[in-house]
Structure 1
Amino acid sequence: MVLPRALANFNRHVTNPAANRLAGKVPPFGVVVHKGRKSGRAYRTPVWVFESDGVYRIALTYGRDVDWVKNICAAGAFELETKGRVLSLVDPVVEHDASATWAPVGVRQVLSTVSVVYHLQARTA
Structure 2
Amino acid sequence: MRAAWLGLLKHSLNRVTVPLARSGHGPFALVRHVGRRSGRCYETPLLLARYGDDFVAELTYGPNVDWHRNVQAAGRCEVVAGGVTYEIDRIETFPTAAGLRAFGNPAAVVLRLLRRRDFRLLRVAASG
> Shared fold (TM-score greater than 0.5)?
yes
Query: How far apart are the structure 2 equivalents of 1:42 and 1:81?
Result: 14
The structure with more strand, counted as a fraction of residues: 1
The structure with more helix, counted as a fraction of residues: 2
Structure 1 residues 92-103: aligned runs within 5 Å: 92-97=91-96, 100-103=100-103
The one-letter amino acid paired with 2:16 is A
| TM-score, reference length from structure 2 | 0.85
Q: 1:61, CA displacement in angstroms? A: 1.0
Q: 1:31, CA displacement in angstroms? A: 0.6
Number of positions where the alignment pairs a residue of Structure 1 with one of Structure 2 = 122
Tell me the residue number matched to 1:7. 5
- SS of the equivalent of 2:107 reads helix
Query: How far apart are the structure 2 equivalents of 1:104 and 1:45?
Result: 23
Residues 36 and 42 in structure 1, CA contact (< 8 A), matched pair in contact too: yes
Query: Over aligned residue pairs, what C-alpha RMSD do you find?
Result: 1.8
What per-residue deviation string (whole Å, max 9, x for no partner) do you get for residues 2-61 of structure 1?
A: xx5443221111110211011241353201000100100111100011112112101211
Q: 1:87, CA displacement in angstroms? A: 0.8
Instruction: Decide which structure has the larger Cα Rg and report it.
Output: 2
Instruction: Tell me which moved more, 80-89 or 112-121.
Output: 112-121
Query: How far apart are the structure 2 equivalents of 1:85 and 1:55?
Result: 13
Structure 1 residues 84-95: aligned runs within 5 Å: 84-95=83-94
Q: Unpaired segments of 5 or more residues in structure 1?
A: none
Tell me the residue number matched to 1:22. 20
Matched, 1:117 2:117: yes
Q: 1:102, CA displacement in angstroms? A: 2.4
The one-letter amino acid paired with 1:18 is V
Are the structure 2 counterparts of residues 108 and 5 from structure 1 closer, same or farther at C-alpha, using a change threshold of 3 Å? farther
- SS of the equivalent of 2:103 reads coil
